[in-house]
Amino acid sequence: MDFDLSDEEIAFQEELEAFLETNRSSEVMDHNPEQLSQTVDTPAKRGLMAGLAERGWLGMSWPAEYGGAEKPGIYDFILTETLSRYGAPQPGKGVGIVGKTIIRHGNENLKQYFLPKIIRAEVEFAIGYSEPQAGSDAAAMELKALRDEERSGWVLNGHKTWTTSAHFADWYWVGARTDPGSKHQGITVFLIPMDHEGLEIHATWTIGDERTNEVFFTDVFVPDDFVVGEVNQGWKYICEALDLERFAMMPVGPLEMKVEAFCDWVRESECDGEPLRQAPRLRSKVAQAATELEVARMLQRQVIAGAVKGGIPTVESSMYKLFMNEAGKRLANSALDAMGPAGQLKPGVEDAPLDGRFERSYRYTVVDTIGGGASEIQKNIISRRGLGLPKNF
Ligand SMILES: Cc1cc2nc3c(=O)[nH]c(=O)nc-3n(C[C@H](O)[C@H](O)[C@H](O)COP(=O)(O)OP(=O)(O)OC[C@H]3O[C@@H](n4cnc5c(N)ncnc54)[C@H](O)[C@@H]3O)c2cc1C
């Protein structure tokens, strides 16, 4: 068992770190990142992505015919993790989810249109599966897509919830119901320009201070060319994409930074003139957090090992997401317990320990255990697909 990177992989990581050092800026890097907070939502962040693209660092594992370097998937992982350690935005949605699904299932038109744009960092996506009555059970989606033979396309009407990125993305990757007679074999995935006539976007603010959105569809026409893969087979693509999401968009870096910050705080702080580092209960909490970080890292390696072999490691992705998100929540709880009443002061408030970092983390980590599939749903996947236990819904 060899967990070390090869010389070539280390050389890439160092080159990337040198680039990020040169481009260090608080405009594009968040020094207190949370798991899902690193979106490419400003021109400056797009600029950083364009810089990565210019160096050929986006889609490194993609086939050469689509602009990739055909490198092993470990390079995509090194990119994502290194960016996350700098609090830089993540390229996961386009390169890791939409791009990979188009490569597997998209028609030639979609490949020609989107893949060059994705690999040059010229396009941002929003992902629309959830609806008011379809969250954990996303296959219950009801957004209606009716066939329009005359115009060779589909007309979409309905309502999506929780579409993160809809307010700045260029394109919408949307699941809609094309056959009301079949739950899982009646969904199709469409690609729609985010500024399309008939789309209305409303903000929803989360407990973690992040914006997500509701999107309303009124007679939105989508030509056949922008149907992903086969009609009524969308659920299969969505499941694959969700497995990729749990991995491609969830680096361990933010947890690592928070564990380090908590350790440093315990090492350097005092209570009633006594150094906190001498308090047995806090030493135990720090050791627990450091151990959980290592477990998260190992679970992540299992996912990478499966992905590098070309598979989609469903059960491993769920185990990783479940453990890492719950570990993040436990860490925030420990930090707030240790900080006492002052821990409740928000970022920017005078005297807030670590500038309120764990106050925010306490709120944000709740969101982590919901976005991308709730913890309970990850447990269901592990039980059913990993352990062969019966279906419970
Ligand atoms: C910040 C944020 C960003 C998001 N971004 C997106 C996005 O960009 N695109 C998108 O499509 N969606 C997005 N989502 C939606 C997300 O995927 C759903 O919120 C999630 O799947 C849960 O669905 P729900 O909110 O409807 O909760 P529900 O499904 O109503 O669940 C409520 C509770 O019941 C539990 N539960 C439900 N079913 C079961 C079961 N069978 N067994 C055991 N427990 C169960 C859940 O775990 C949860 O605790 C986002 C959500 C958040 C919070």
Dump pLDDT digits (tens) for 356-391. 999 999 999 999 999 889 999 999 999 999 999 988
Residues in Cβ contact with 288 at an 8 Å cutoff, skipping those fewer than 6 apart: 330, 334
Q: For residue 248, name the pLDDT band (cuts at 50, 70, 90).
A: low
Instruction: Tell me, in angstroms, the distance from the centre of ligand 1 to residue 368's CA.
Output: 10
Q: 145 pairs with which residues across the strands?
A: 156
- Both structure tokens of 287: 């050791």
pLDDT at 199 over 80: yes
Instruction: Tell me, in angstroms, the distance from the centre of ligand 1 to residue 371's CA.
Output: 6
CATH superfamily of 252-386: Butyryl-CoA Dehydrogenase, subunit A, domain 3 (1.20.140.10)
Poorest-pLDDT segment among 22-26, 47-51, 96-100: 96-100
Pocket test for ligand 1, best of 41, 142, 160, 162 (most atoms within 8 A of CB): 162
Largest CA-CA distance found in the chain, in angstroms, rounded:
79
In angstroms, how far is CA 33 from the centroid of its own chain?
Answer: 13
> Rounded CA gap, 141 and 162, in Å?
13
Q: 192 pairs with which residues across the strands?
A: 172
Q: What angle do CA 295, 298, 304 make, to 5 degrees?
A: 145
Q: For residue 249, name the pLDDT band (cuts at 50, 70, 90).
A: low
pLDDT, position 374:
95
Poorest-pLDDT segment among 166-175, 300-309, 317-326, 367-376: 300-309
pLDDT at 35 over 80: no
Average pLDDT over residues 223-245: 91
pLDDT at 36 over 80: no
pLDDT at 223 over 90: yes
Average pLDDT over residues 321-337: 96
Instruction: Tell me, in angstroms, the distance from the centre of ligand 1 to residue 156's CA.
Output: 23
pLDDT, position 31:
80
Contact (CB, 8 A) for 140 and 180: no
Local structure of residue 178 (DSSP, 8 states)? S
pLDDT, position 2:
73
Burial class (CB in 10 A: 0-12, 13-18, 19+), 284: exposed
Start-to-end CA span in the chain (Å): 39
Please name which of 316, 184, 206, 172 lies closest in space to residue 250, comparing C-alpha atoms: 316
Instruction: Tell me, in angstroms, the distance from the centre of ligand 1 to residue 365's CA.
Output: 14
- CATH class belonging to 7-124: mainly alpha
Mean pLDDT is highest, among 30-44, 255-269, 297-311, for: 255-269
pLDDT at 37 over 80: no
- Both structure tokens of 132: 């008011």
> Rounded CA gap, 370 and 271, in Å?
35
pLDDT at 104 over 90: yes
Backbone angles phi, psi at 104, to 5 degrees: -75, -40
Please tell me if the domain spanning 126-234 has the same topology as the one spanning 252-386: no
Pocket test for ligand 1, best of 97, 130, 242 (most atoms within 8 A of CB): 130
Q: Taking the domains of the chain in order of start, what are their residue ranges?
A: 7-124, 126-234, 252-386
DSSP strand pairing (125-128 vs 171-177): parallel
For the chain, give the mean pLDDT: 93
Q: Which residues line ligand 1 (CB under 6 A)?
A: 127-130, 135-136, 162-164, 206, 210, 212, 367, 370-371, 373-374, 376-377, 380, 393
Q: For residue 247, name the pLDDT band (cuts at 50, 70, 90).
A: low
Q: For residue 246, name the pLDDT band (cuts at 50, 70, 90).
A: low
pLDDT at 73 over 90: no
Burial class (CB in 10 A: 0-12, 13-18, 19+), 4: exposed
CATH number for the region 126-234 comes to: 2.40.110.10
Q: What share of the chain in percent tops pLDDT 90?
A: 82
> Rounded CA gap, 125 and 123, in Å?
7
Q: How many CB atoms lie within 10 A of CB 112?
A: 11
Burial class (CB in 10 A: 0-12, 13-18, 19+), 387: exposed
Please name which of 137, 51, 136, 67 lies closest in space to residue 102, comparing C-alpha atoms: 67
Instruction: Tell me, in angstroms, the distance from the centre of ligand 1 to residue 159's CA.
Output: 16
For residue 375, give the ligand 1 atom closest to its CA.
Answer: 47
What sign for the dihedral angle of Cα 301, 303, 306, 307? Answer: negative
Average pLDDT over residues 131-139: 96
Average pLDDT over residues 227-232: 98
pLDDT at 299 over 80: yes
Give buried/exposed letters for 21-43 (b at 16+ CB in 10 A, else e). Answer: eeeeeeebbeebbbbbbbbbbee
Instruction: Tell me, in angstroms, the distance from the centre of ligand 1 to residue 367's CA.
Output: 10
